[in-house]
Structure 1
Amino acid sequence: MDTDNFEKGSFAYDKAFLKKQDTNLIILKRGSAEVIVSPKFQAKVFTSTVNGNKGKTLGWVNYDAFGKQDAHMNAYGGENRCWLGPEGNIFSLFFKPEIEMTFENWKTPSPIDSEPWDIKSKNTTSVTLTKQMLLTNYANSDFNIKVEREISILNKNDMEKLLSVSVKNVEAVAYQTKNSIENSGDNAWTETTGAPCIWILDMFPPSEKTTVVIPYNLQTEGNVATTDYFGQIPKDRIKLEDGILYFKADGKSRGKLGINPVRALNTAGSYDAINHILTITIFDIDPSATYLNQEWKLEGDPLIGDAMNAYNDGPLEDGKQMGPFYEIESVSPAAFLRPGEILTHNHTVFHFIGTTKELTKISQSALGVSLTQIINAL
């Protein structure tokens, strides 16, 4: 397969391109649904499709990043990647001890940025990959961590059980990721040493009419969302209405939001009204657990943070832009683990393509709103 034979934006193009980058590329299949996983590129799910080589690619791949080395982050893309947090605060894994938290000093740890992972087992529908790593946080605590990541492509019966709605009349692809970290060292991870968390990030290609949809808990008080991670998100790009947060995801304005574990539910999604793609994500949430603050600052409580996030890419002040793409993210609680203990975080991605009628049934069941409501929200 050669990329010259296919159009950019097709699954066939991305498969041909990625096979050149990783000769051990893994393709999981269920009928016409396919998912691409890369051991060389940190166990990423790079992309997926509902219709094999004829289908649209559903993940965002940053073609320009390959064959280069970036001092801060090798942003290869990928519609589902496994990172470890926190990114900021006094327990950050992205800043060396005692240095200022600025972009110049920010560095993604190599095991989740540039190093290959090992294949533990694989078959046509599932693969398990592992990585042993030693990381040091901002508080100068060392962490021996064994990370394991099992990725399984789902059939339609699996999808229906997880979402409690029929998906028989739409084209679909879905995969479940089971991500675990083990304290493989000799010392406990505590509130004094700090603790890592599992951080799962989905990167998708945007369109002019893509909207992220996040249901949230109305039965509690306090702020619904943190909306100023990278400066305040403009009011015309975000809306809160009847327990639903809508966020414009067109890849044209950089902004990130987060929802704390008391407000967050276990579901988020998006709808691309141009390409008629409904995306649903479900993930583990524990409202009683401790989640880490990931902001780039030393002030505030490092043990109070968000359980899920969404990001819309856009130009930086100098006009440069990595994407465009948008992200839906989930994180695990802080892993306060004794030696030998394991924390697991599940995150599942579904893509559906079909008629407005059929997609609305899924959207209403999973997200609590119709496609019409999503389209007209912003």
Structure 2
Amino acid sequence: MDILQSGKNTVRVLLFILLMILVMNCKENIKERNFGEALEKLQTIEGLEVLQSGESMIAVSGKYQGRIFTSSSNGLEGKSYGWINWDLITDKKDQITMARLGGESRVWFGPEYGKFATFFEQNKRQEGEDIKVQEDLNSKQFKKVSSSKKSITYQADLQIVNANNYLFKINTKRKISILDRKTINTDLKISSDIDISVVGFSAETWLKNIDSIQWTKDKGLLSIWEIGSILTSVDTKVIIPLEKPLDSLKTYFGTKEKTRYQIKNNTLFYKSDAQLLGKIGIPPENTKNIMGSYSRKNNLLTIVTFNFKNDGDYLNCFPKNTAPYDGDVINIFNGEVNKSLGYNWPFYEFESLSSSKELKPQEEIYHKQTTYHIEADFVELNLISKKLLGIDLNEIPVF
């Protein structure tokens, strides 16, 4: 009996230890989503600044290429919405690998693939493992040129070489702004007394040709590629209102992606749950300048807007494409957490691309993307969704 009782006690102890480990892991995950905790981890980042309007906060570094790392709608104790590649910071590689550092707002330059790709060298195979990030995109620090309580502007001169071996000499300027509640109310068409927690911020980017010669389509062009990496949950779905019916959706990573979206009432719904690596694209003829996402679990509605006039060529970022100027305006990337494959990407991305133009010397293109995270009860979120996305959240399909 003593031996039996001893065995039972051992099992109890092991179960207790396992429970404590699980609890500690859960607490750590919760802490990592806390803005104050994220801010503490970011203290090693050069040029880190916090812009604040009431309880709304964003963590920014101009030196890190005008990047918004993360945001909160509830001060230091609020959720940290942005995904950050903490491994690079821990390994002290963040200053030489900025392109893969993540954050809720960062800038790349398209096109990713194709004849004029900016992520592959000339005459090299264009597969995922062959991607080579431009040196300036990985390590060039931006300099502050102006600031106020609610915005900061940074700029840098960069050199980008495409797969056609054409050298672009550019100046890039980034203005990061946090929005006050009055501006947010106007943008979201909500009354001032509505009970919500919200943070809104915008990233404006200018890309100028500072070479002495004009860019031409036969050598390749550039576009501004705005990317926002956002932590996700298992029930999150992206919502994209369409300008006109979309017969088929461009999927980047395989046939399995086709089970992860539905088109209903001229609206695209896409699983953005970090359960399967994927990416989709929306061409200009189907694009409106708004998209969003919703998680009932987190009482969280995200709205993203961007400037869009369909006034130029959109560069093709699709692998192995043969039409370099037949690209997308919107891309949504869905990450994946899969230890067996070495994936640890618990986020999805809102991406929008500017048009490209044959810029003369000192001419520039401009792109702006604005993000709003709104936490509230279902009734309030549903009202906002109906006004802005044209969607009753009750009618999001289950798939």
Q: Structures share a fold, TM > 0.5?
A: yes
Residue 212, structure 1, aligned to residue 238, structure 2:
yes
Matched to 1:314, the amino acid is E
Residue 257, structure 1, aligned to residue 280, structure 2:
yes
CA contact (8 A) 1:246 1:377 kept: no
Offset of 1:74 from its aligned partner? Answer: 4.9
Which residue of the partner structure matches residue 349 of structure 1?
Answer: 371
More deviation, 206-215/33-42? 33-42
Residue 10, structure 1, aligned to residue 30, structure 2:
no
Separation in structure 1 between the aligned mates of residue 248 and residue 279 of structure 2, nearest angstrom? 14
CA contact (8 A) 1:73 1:108 kept: no
Which residue of the partner structure matches residue 307 of structure 1?
Answer: 329
Within-5 A mapping of 1:266-277: 266-277=289-300
Separation in structure 2 between the aligned mates of residue 74 and residue 88 of structure 1, nearest angstrom? 16
Separation in structure 2 between the aligned mates of residue 119 and residue 72 of structure 1, nearest angstrom? 20
Residue 20, structure 1, aligned to residue 47, structure 2:
no
Residue 142, structure 1, aligned to residue 167, structure 2:
yes
Aligned-residue identity in percent:
32
* TM-score (structure 1 length as normaliser): 0.92
More deviation, 195-204/97-106? 97-106
Deviation sequence 1:7-63 (CA, Å, 0-9, x none): 2210001111111233x2011110110011112322211000011111110111121
CA contact (8 A) 2:276 2:336 kept: yes
Which residue of the partner structure matches residue 106 of structure 2?
Answer: 81
SS at match of 2:285: coil
Within-5 A mapping of 1:146-295: 146-166=171-191, 168-218=194-244, 223-227=247-251, 229-295=252-318
More deviation, 338-347/36-45? 36-45
Separation in structure 2 between the aligned mates of residue 288 and residue 121 of structure 1, nearest angstrom? 30
- Structure 2: gaps of 5 or more residues: 1-27
Matched to 1:50, the amino acid is S
CA contact (8 A) 2:302 2:373 kept: yes
Within-5 A mapping of 1:331-350: 331-350=353-372
Residue 330, structure 1, aligned to residue 348, structure 2:
no
Deviation sequence 1:159-217 (CA, Å, 0-9, x none): 23323333642111001111110001111111112110000011111101111111112
CA contact (8 A) 2:142 2:156 kept: yes
Separation in structure 2 between the aligned mates of residue 232 and residue 316 of structure 1, nearest angstrom? 19
Which residue of the partner structure matches residue 380 of structure 2?
Answer: 358
Deviation sequence 1:45-97 (CA, Å, 0-9, x none): 10000111111101111211223549987522201111111101111111111
CA contact (8 A) 2:63 2:141 kept: yes
- Structure 1: gaps of 5 or more residues: none
Deviation sequence 1:314-334 (CA, Å, 0-9, x none): 257951113111111000001
Matched to 2:103, the amino acid is G
Residue 119, structure 1, aligned to residue 141, structure 2:
no
Which residue of the partner structure matches residue 341 of structure 2?
Answer: 319
Matched to 1:372, the amino acid is N
Q: 1:325 to 1:151 in 2, by over 3 A?
A: same
Offset of 1:287 from its aligned partner? Answer: 2.8
SS at match of 2:263: strand
Separation in structure 2 between the aligned mates of residue 230 and residue 207 of structure 1, nearest angstrom? 21
Hey, which of these two has a bigger chunk of helix by percent? Answer: 2
Deviation sequence 1:227-261 (CA, Å, 0-9, x none): 2x111244442100011100111101011000000
More deviation, 311-320/68-77? 68-77
Q: 1:296 to 1:68 in 2, by over 3 A?
A: farther
Q: 1:7 to 1:60 in 2, by over 3 A?
A: same
SS at match of 1:17: helix
CA contact (8 A) 1:41 1:117 kept: yes
Matched to 1:159, the amino acid is I
Q: 1:187 to 1:316 in 2, by over 3 A?
A: farther
SS at match of 1:133: strand
After superposition, the CA RMSD in angstroms is 2.1
Bigger Rg, structure 1 or 2: 2
CA contact (8 A) 1:133 1:145 kept: yes
Offset of 1:368 from its aligned partner? Answer: 0.8
CA contact (8 A) 2:356 2:365 kept: no
CA contact (8 A) 2:157 2:172 kept: yes
Separation in structure 2 between the aligned mates of residue 248 and residue 93 of structure 1, nearest angstrom? 28
More deviation, 24-33/157-166? 157-166
Matched to 1:15, the amino acid is L
Q: 1:340 to 1:74 in 2, by over 3 A?
A: closer
CA contact (8 A) 2:311 2:355 kept: no
Which residue of the partner structure matches residue 62 of structure 1?
Answer: 85
Separation in structure 2 between the aligned mates of residue 127 and residue 114 of structure 1, nearest angstrom? 20
CA contact (8 A) 1:27 1:124 kept: no
Q: After the TM superposition, which parts of structure 1 deviate over 3 Å for at least 4 consecutive aligned residues?
A: 68-74, 165-168, 233-236, 315-318
